[in-house]
Amino acid sequence: MALSRRRFLHTASCTGTWLALNLGHTANALAADNNALQWQDLGAGLALIQGAGGAVLVVDGKDGVALVDGGNTRSASALLALVKSHTGKQPKLLFNSHCHRDQIGCNQTLGKQGATIIAHENTRLWLTTEILSKWEHQVYPPLPTEALPNKTFYYDSETIEFNHKLNYGYLPQAHTDGDIYVHLSEQNLVCVGDVVSASVYPLVDYATNGWIGGMITSLTQLLTLCDNNTRIIASSGVVNKAHVQSQLDMCSAVADRIGTAYYKGGSLVEFLADKPTAEFDAKWGNAELFLRMAWEGTLPHVTEIRRFGKRA
Ligand SMILES: [Zn+2]
């Protein structure tokens, strides 16, 4: 599979190929990683940390510190030190937007300290088992018990008061089958993990039951939380409502083409040869991995795919 460097870095960032990348890293590289963390003050006790794998939202205030996602494992110590230096505290609450390695790096440290770790139940289940990711040629081991989410929910939404009103809910089977959003309505900000991709084509990780129809449903749901001023924090960067709409439009068009190709009876090779994303590549880059994963992920959803495609 030919991947551009840009796409490879996105893939590594998104899904935890950090494990493979990490095998050869040196003390100097580790120091560089730590120095690469960027803290951005967002006001009202909120801050964004980037450079730790997936983006991390810090929510500081009278109730303590909460994090939405925890970056990757190799950045965890530096990330928590950075949080401590700005807030004087260790986080008491952590959300996992999904089960990938770029989001769960602080789980073990904070879990041991007694923090509440909130995630969808499917994310907890993935983290209790070995994950075979065929498309990455990678096996991810289960996490130790203390690193697992200890407060989970199912196919609905909940709200807690922790410095701000934090509403969190399920995003149906999109990037994985355990994606959640965390919405701070009073701050007009929503964290969306990897369901939204900031710059390159999104990934529908069929190894953890993501699929393009679920991504269309989830993006449609997210748009109802947003207005033109909403700050949408994806693992790969901060975007606005128009960007989410453009991702939805692109995914709807691709779902339509996948559905047509499935029912026509073509192969993946033929589908790729037809360049089904030609009009979107200038904005989103190399589509190959996205298309391969969207195609594979549609296999268990053959009877549903054309329903999604009709929105295009
Ligand atoms: Zn991910």
SS3 state of residue 256? helix
pLDDT average, residue stretch 250-258: 96
State the distance from the centre of ligand 1 to the C-alpha of 279, rounded, in angstroms: 25
SS (H, E, C) 277-305: CHHHHHHHCCCHHHHHHHHHHHHHHCCCH
Domain 5-309: CATH superfamily is Ribonuclease Z/Hydroxyacylglutathione hydrolase-like (3.60.15.10)
In degrees rounded to 5, what are phi and psi of residue 175? Answer: -75, -40
Q: What percent of the chain has pLDDT over 90?
A: 85
Tell me what pLDDT residue 308 has: 86
Q: Per-residue pLDDT tens for 161-189?
A: 999 999 999 999 999 999 999 999 999 99
pLDDT for 19 equals: 34
Taking the centre of ligand 1 as the mean of its atom positions, its distance from the CA of residue 13, in whole angstroms, is: 8
In this prediction the pTM is 0.90
Mean of all residue pLDDT scores within the chain? 90
For residue 265, report the distance from its CA to the centre of ligand 1, in Å.
31
Dist. CA 49 → ligand 1 center (Å)? 17
Give the pLDDT score at 306. Answer: 85
Q: Which of 35-44, 83-92, 233-242, 281-290 has the lowest mean pLDDT?
A: 35-44
**Cα of 62 from ligand 1 centre, angstroms:** 31
pLDDT bracket for residue 33 (50, 70, 90): low
Show me where the domains of the chain are located.
Answer: 5-309
Lowest mean pLDDT among 10-14, 214-218, 252-256: 10-14
Q: State in Å: Cα 175 to ligand 1 middle.
A: 7
Among 50, 55, 49, which residue's Cα sits nearest to residue 86? 49
